[in-house]
Structure 1
Amino acid sequence: MTRLESALAATAYQREWFAGIRARVAAGEPLALVNADAPQEVLRAMGIPYVVNQWWASVVSARQRADASLQVLRDRGYPDYSRQYDAISLGSHFLAEDEAPWGGLPRPTVVVAETSGDAARKVFDLWDELDGTSFYPIERSSAVEAPSRWWELVPHRWEEAFGPERLDLLSSEIEGLAAFLEERTGRRLDLDRLAEVMDLVNEQAEWNRRTRDLIAAARPTPVAVGDTIPSVMIPQWHRGTPWARDAARRLYEEVADLVDRGAAVAPGERLRLMWLGRGLWYDLGLYRRFQERYGAVFVWSMYLAIAADGYARYGTDPIRTLAARFAGLTDQLYTPPWSTEWYVKEALSHGVDGVVHLVADDVPGSWFTTRALEAAGIPVLEVRANNADPRGDGGTRLERAVCDFIERRLLPSRP
């Protein structure tokens, strides 16, 4: 199996970076643990090291330590069956150093998360109970109206897309976060530095958009989803750095070279599939297991797609522009018709023959997403599983379901 050089380089960089984070914290520097939908650019501009909660949960799950981390929560009297993607990092924090991936996650000085529900809020309240750790909750509003084709609107006309009231609220939240971090760490937010960070993120998003468009147009697909996920997401967790921008450019250049050479993940490609939902971290090999048997290739995941369409924001006020980046992120991914229109657009542009829709228990709007895709003539398989919790034979059950979907619904329609 040939791996993308950009994926190998990103994975190696992340491991080296994490070792550096552990050393910096051991030397007395503060550490933040932040949810994926928190405005991380503030921490970047303030020079505060941070780890993304969902990234660390994916590492724990990929290294088969999710069940041990959830057992810690059970042993402490907490539920292990709700919001596992949010809670695994908390459980892993209590594993012995030799049992945790990469030596384990150091205790954070601050945790930052958007309060998207009662259960998620309680996970971070537990972090707040640890000695030396403080929690800053981010409040975010919900959309009342949905603009058509939001992906064309949000880079420059984001005030129109989200409305002044939503942006006022999140701008105030970001200012409050900066004051909170200043109090806890002694570091100040420089708006000129934040503007530089925002510019780098925009450059990174533009490279991701070019890569997404290349893959969408390529027939057959030149790159495996299992490679594009680390190639895209590791740099995403380093947004606002030259390394992350350059990593996005390297991915584009590598994919462009593969397209020019006519490379194919599966030379006998017969079916193009879309993986809709979070990555199956405990079994990333699943995406490849249908290639030889059926000539079925996963050509799409939300990670590259949202990195292409969801992050670029241009404006003169860095705080309000940053608010525009995060005000609608949940809407774009999970709230119909924002999400449903976008998923149909992506499915059609990538020419997919079918969609495997991983439905998580904390993701709203899944029914509308499936209905919209089916209405567009694209068959959908809904599977219910937690992407980071391997218990219950989820990977094997899911693989059987995909095989049945291919054999019964997709292959009969092929010549």
Structure 2
Amino acid sequence: MTGRRIESAERASAYHKQWFAAIRERAADGDPLALVNADAPQEILRAMDIPYVVNQWWAALVGAKRLADHSLDAVRALGYPDDSRQYDAIALGSTGLASADAPWGGLPRPTIVIAENSGDAGRKVFDLWGEYRDTEVFLFERTTAHDAPHRWWELVPRRWSEAFDADRLDLMVAENWLLVDKLERITGRTLSLDRLAEVMDLVNQQAEWNRRSRDILASARPTPVSVHESINSVMIPQWHRGTQWAVDAAERFCHEVEAAAASGRAVCPGERVRLMWVGRGLWFDMDLYERFQQRYGAVFVWSMYLAIAADGYPRYGGDPMRALAARFTGFTDQLYMPGWAADWYVKEARGHGVDGVIHLVADDVPGPYFVTRALEEAGIPVLEIRGNNADPRALNSGVIGQRIEEFIASRFSR
């Protein structure tokens, strides 16, 4: 049976819009505001009651509103390249949009920008924020593992000290405290380790609900919830990690997934081909994921967002600041680095009964060759598409759709 769309995505979107309006009001009244990358420890900000906006979420929203190209035009007008690190640069460029045109009234000028130092070009994007008089910048170092632990997703929740080298954790703990010092200086607020421990506990609860949702969807045949629905239902609460609202939202989503699977709800009643989307979301054309259902019975059943929320975030025990370091020290490793990412994607593909993979390869992520090779060696055909997910000029969705259709027709048509 088909059914109405699940409510979690709509509820999350409505809440997030109200929240952002409140953030704008607080910023206008003089409250500090942080712009923070997804790979940086937002939990510190949560524990210090410092409002923040996640850079990648804002870029996704700008893209969904069909304003990414205009934001990148603004970057070029400033004299900087508009064809490099677009996902990072869109927020910077969006400050050039008129408030009447910008999504939800526009992004207020941040008090501080926090990111991981991921190369010369990436660093330059964030350094540019520091040229605004009232904006400071804090960049974490990116470290690399000596070895990739076997089946890291089983280690990291409770045995994270075995998964990550001690020197990597030491460095990030030290940098976390440097960030705290800076935040206390510029905001006048202080960090309580007891409060940070509470935030970490709430994040763990949210991750457990996400894991349960992921496991239900992995085993459900046919798939009862679309990738588009799950991305919205999971990622908006992810940007509110460390709050009771986010835990409750993850729980509601899980119960909806469970009920949808039990009722026989089907995204595509004629499901014949199960596809996996490896890489970042195609924010300017989310309808692409449902475009191949009617003709081919081809359904996207997996994206990294729910899966990494299930496997990548829980961290139990120990000093909360060190456990937090363990959450983010290996964030890039888990999604992209050889030895870490490849095995995980194969595990997820097999667990979800995937027939084929669409691999969106961005120019700023390491190790895509090893991911594709591992999947193909596991007997799963892969179509690689190269381009930037946030830049509609670099990825023509019509061309992408044609390539995916050709891939499905040549590999899976019976």
Distance 1:195 1:230 in 2: 27
Superposition pairs of residues 238-277 of structure 1, within 5 angstroms: 238-277=240-279
Paired position in structure 2 for 1:79: 81
User: Is residue 38–residue 114 contact of structure 1 (8 Å, CA) maintained in 2?
Assistant: yes
Offset, 1:3? 2.6
Deviation readout 1:244-299 (Å, 9 max, x if unpaired): 01000000000000011011100010000000000000000000001111100000
Distance 1:180 1:392 in 2: 37
Paired position in structure 1 for 2:141: 139
Distance 1:102 1:384 in 2: 31
Q: Which 4+ residue blocks in structure 1 deviate beyond 3 angstroms?
A: none
Distance 2:120 2:337 in 1: 18
Amino acid corresponding to residue 306 of structure 1 in structure 2: I
Offset, 1:195? 0.1
Q: Establish whether residue 235 from structure 1 lines up as the match of residue 220 from structure 2.
A: no
Distance 1:401 1:410 in 2: 14
Paired position in structure 1 for 2:362: 360
Q: Establish whether residue 380 from structure 1 lines up as the match of residue 382 from structure 2.
A: yes
Distance 1:66 1:2 in 2: 31
Paired position in structure 1 for 2:12: 10
Q: 2:334 aligns with which of 329, 332, 335?
A: 332
Deviation readout 1:389-410 (Å, 9 max, x if unpaired): 1114521110000000000112
Q: 2:403 aligns with which of 366, 376, 401?
A: 401
Distance 1:296 1:151 in 2: 29
Paired position in structure 1 for 2:59: 57
User: Is residue 388–residue 394 contact of structure 2 (8 Å, CA) maintained in 1?
Assistant: no
Paired position in structure 1 for 2:113: 111
Amino acid corresponding to residue 80 of structure 2 in structure 1: Y
Distance 1:57 1:100 in 2: 12
Offset, 1:183? 0.6
Distance 1:281 1:146 in 2: 31
Taking structure 1 as reference, are residues 393 and 53 closer, same or farther at Cα in structure 2, changes over 3 Å only?
Answer: closer
Distance 1:316 1:408 in 2: 52
Deviation readout 1:128-181 (Å, 9 max, x if unpaired): 001100001111311110110000000011111102111101100101110110
User: Is residue 215–residue 221 contact of structure 1 (8 Å, CA) maintained in 2?
Assistant: yes
Paired position in structure 1 for 2:321: 319
Deviation readout 1:212-260 (Å, 9 max, x if unpaired): 0000000000000000001000000000000001000000000000011
Distance 2:331 2:245 in 1: 24
Offset, 1:42? 0.2
Distance 1:59 1:268 in 2: 32
User: Secondary structure at 2:413's aligned position in 1?
Assistant: helix
Distance 1:140 1:100 in 2: 32
Distance 2:413 2:347 in 1: 23
Paired position in structure 2 for 1:121: 123
Q: TM-score if structure 2 supplies the norm length?
A: 0.98
Amino acid corresponding to residue 137 of structure 1 in structure 2: L
Amino acid corresponding to residue 243 of structure 1 in structure 2: W
Paired position in structure 1 for 2:296: 294
Paired position in structure 2 for 1:70: 72
Distance 1:307 1:267 in 2: 28
Offset, 1:99? 1.4
Deviation readout 1:98-146 (Å, 9 max, x if unpaired): 1111100000000000001111100010000011000011113111101
Offset, 1:93? 1.1
Paired position in structure 2 for 1:34: 36
Amino acid corresponding to residue 194 of structure 1 in structure 2: L
User: Is residue 140–residue 170 contact of structure 1 (8 Å, CA) maintained in 2?
Assistant: no
Paired position in structure 2 for 1:307: 309
Deviation readout 1:287-326 (Å, 9 max, x if unpaired): 0001111100000000000000000000130100000000
Distance 2:263 2:187 in 1: 51
User: Is residue 280–residue 388 contact of structure 1 (8 Å, CA) maintained in 2?
Assistant: yes
User: Secondary structure at 1:88's aligned position in 2?
Assistant: helix
Distance 2:333 2:395 in 1: 31
User: Is residue 140–residue 169 contact of structure 1 (8 Å, CA) maintained in 2?
Assistant: no
User: Secondary structure at 1:382's aligned position in 2?
Assistant: strand
- Identity percentage of aligned residues: 66
Distance 2:40 2:269 in 1: 41
Distance 1:192 1:392 in 2: 46
Distance 2:367 2:385 in 1: 14
Distance 1:2 1:123 in 2: 42
Distance 2:21 2:358 in 1: 36
Q: 1:204 aligns with which of 203, 206, 228?
A: 206
User: Is residue 12–residue 232 contact of structure 2 (8 Å, CA) maintained in 1?
Assistant: yes
CA RMSD of aligned residues (A): 0.9
User: Is residue 387–residue 394 contact of structure 2 (8 Å, CA) maintained in 1?
Assistant: no
User: Is residue 222–residue 266 contact of structure 2 (8 Å, CA) maintained in 1?
Assistant: yes
Distance 1:131 1:330 in 2: 31
Paired position in structure 2 for 1:370: 372
User: Is residue 389–residue 395 contact of structure 2 (8 Å, CA) maintained in 1?
Assistant: no
Aligned length: 412
Distance 1:226 1:64 in 2: 17
